[in-house]
Structures are given as structure tokens and as C-alpha cells.
Structure 1
Amino acid sequence: MKRNLSLIIIAVLICLLTTNSVPTMKADALIQNHKMAQVAIVVKDIEKARKNWAMVLGMDVPEVSIAKSHPSRPTKYKGTPSSAEAKLAFFNLENIQIELIEPLGGNSTWQEFLDTKGEGIHHIAFMVKGIDGLERRFEMQGMPTDQNGGWEGGAYSYINAMQMLGCELELLENYQSN
């Protein structure tokens, strides 16, 4: 009996160790990266939120930066130029980044989320290459761009995937890594 149990355990271990745990990706996948980069939370008070998260995570309270339109890739909300600004704070964990966002004004997906849903998880983000082409591909699948813009050295797009996926997606492209 012990021998049979040992053989079963060994067989199960061999199966587990020889199974490819990395999912295969289809060539037509919209996102060619299965590593989530970020989870973002829209908050009313970033000072309070960053202190609370720091306490829970046992980390230092992160600095706050201001996100605003960049001249090389101005912010657009639903296709229209926007003066949207937000306070941002980031917690870099071992496997993912948590972003806190406090809207400061201007038409934005952040303010719309806060006004309609209150505080909560706004989006999940993936690093991508070729962000403009991806925006068009998502649009063809019924997922329009809610907001896009950039910063020195990169670009972002919020894809409205609520109907299809139940959440907003953020595409992030860092031009230095291309």
C-alpha cells in the first residue's frame, strides 16, 4: 500500500514538473504580453490612501507626482483634447505595481470613474509595443479608447473593455525600451 502511494505521488510530481506552466499565446492576441504591469486605484484623497497602503504593505510612503498633458502626446478624453490632471503615487511590489490616482480636474476617465463608481480599482495595465496600432485593433473589437496621452518617453491608452472584460485596460508603451 505504501509503495503504491509512493508511486502515485512520484507520478503526480513528474506530471506537474513536466507540464508547461506558461500558457501558450495565440498569434492574433491583442496583448502579446501575459505579464500584468499594474493595478490602479482611483481615490478621493491620495494623502490618506498612500499612507494606508504603506502601512498595509510595510513600505515607505511614496512620493506624489502630477500627471498632466505632455506636448509630444497631448491628453485626449473620448477623442477630445483634455486638460485632465491627477496626483499619482506608486508602490513597486515584487510582481506588480500599485498606482493610486486622485483626479485634479479636467475631463478624464479617472474623474468619470470617481463620479459614477466612487473609489476603487480603475484599471489593469500591460506593457505593449505599437500602442497606436493596438488602439485601432481594440476599437475594431468593440473596445474604444476612453483616454490617451503621454509623458516624456512614453504613452498610455485607457481601453474601455467594461462590456467585454468587466474592467478598463491600460496600455503602456515605454519608448526607451523599444
Structure 2
Amino acid sequence: MNSPFQRLHHICVVVADIDRAVEFYTSVGIGPWQDYPPLTQYTELDVPSRDGFLGLKYKYADVGGIQYQLVEPGDGDSPQQQFLDTHGEGVFHLGFVVDDLAEGTAAAAGLGVRPWMTGRRPDGSGFTYFDTRARAGVTIEIRQSPTS
């Protein structure tokens, strides 16, 4: 089976207060934490609310080769804010890395998984979230990392 969901890249947790979360995780030895690159790098967006997306605040740390992401919703409506309002803090999505987003998205479609949100940078890197919440209990995502 050709699945784009083979190489786990990150786990993303929605939090109400990212600074409080970073302080806790740092106190138990998880870190150092870095700011996620500016979301304005995504020049092509298909998300429920551009303002909601651009208001998200991300930080990440490497934990044993897997990126651990925290996301705090900002002003504006976003799926992350809706998740926080409905479920409280918790795992919003699992992110998998692919070499080519177009190929990965097509492979996911072949498995019956449909895109929910997408974002692309000018170099073609970016993300595709799939609407798997009802079937998997969590959203899954694929990402293509930026070229260096």
C-alpha cells in the first residue's frame, strides 16, 4: 500500500497559554523551544479563516527525533480554537513528512482520505490536513519541508 502516513514528523497539541505550557515542559526537561517560522510564508491557503490561521502561535521542540509542537489559537476563528473550546487542551493533529505534497495528497485520496485544509509556500513546501477526526479521533496531516 502506498501511504503518505509512514514517517511521523510531529505531534501538535492545542494549548490555551503557550508560554505556560513551554514553562512546564522546560521544567521537566523538554526543550529547547523554538518559534515556528512565520505563517505569512504560506502564500496559498485553503483554510476556514485566513485571519484565524495567521493568528495561530506555534512553538516546537525536538523530542527524540520527533517534533513536539504547541499551538495557541489567537483572535479569530480557527479549527484549533474550535477544538480547544470543545475538547480542551490536547492533541490536535499528527503530522507526517512526505517528499512531495502533490503525490502524498493523491496517495491519501487513493486511500479514501480527503483534504480539509492546505497551505503552500512559494517553493512548493507546505501542508495538507485531512478530515480524519470522526474516523480516527485525531486529524492527520502531511507536510513537505522547505528546501534549505
TM-score range, shorter chain: 0.7 to 0.9
> Which stretches of structure 1, 4 residues or longer, exceed 6 Å deviation after superposition?
none
The aligned counterpart of 1:39 is 11
Q: How does 1:129-144 map to 2 (within 5 A)?
A: 129-139=99-109, 141-144=111-114
What is the distance in 2 between the residues matched to 1:72 and 1:38? 22
The aligned counterpart of 1:165 is 136
Please say if 1:55 is aligned against 2:27: yes
Relative to the length of structure 1, the TM-score reads 0.68
Select 2:115's aligned residue among 128, 141, 145: 145
Q: 8 Å contact 1:70–1:149 — kept in the other structure? A: no
Instruction: Choose 42-51 or 112-121, whichever is displaced more.
Output: 112-121
Relative to the length of structure 2, the TM-score reads 0.80
| Structure 2, unpaired ranges of 5+ | none
| Structure 1, unpaired ranges of 5+ | 1-27
SS at match of 1:176: coil
Between the aligned residues of both structures, percent identity stands at 21
Q: How does 1:1-178 map to 2 (within 5 A)?
A: 28-31=1-4, 34-60=6-32, 62-65=33-36, 67-70=38-41, 72-73=43-44, 75-78=45-48, 82-83=50-51, 84-85=53-54, 86-139=56-109, 141-151=111-121, 153=123, 154-176=125-147
Note the C-alpha offset of 1:106.
3.5
Aligned length: 145
Note the C-alpha offset of 1:37.
1.0
Deviations 1:25-50 (A, max 9, x none): xxx3222x633111110001000001
Structure 1 residues 111 and 146, CA gap change in structure 2 (3 angstroms): farther
Which of these two proteins has the greater Rg computed from alpha carbons? 1
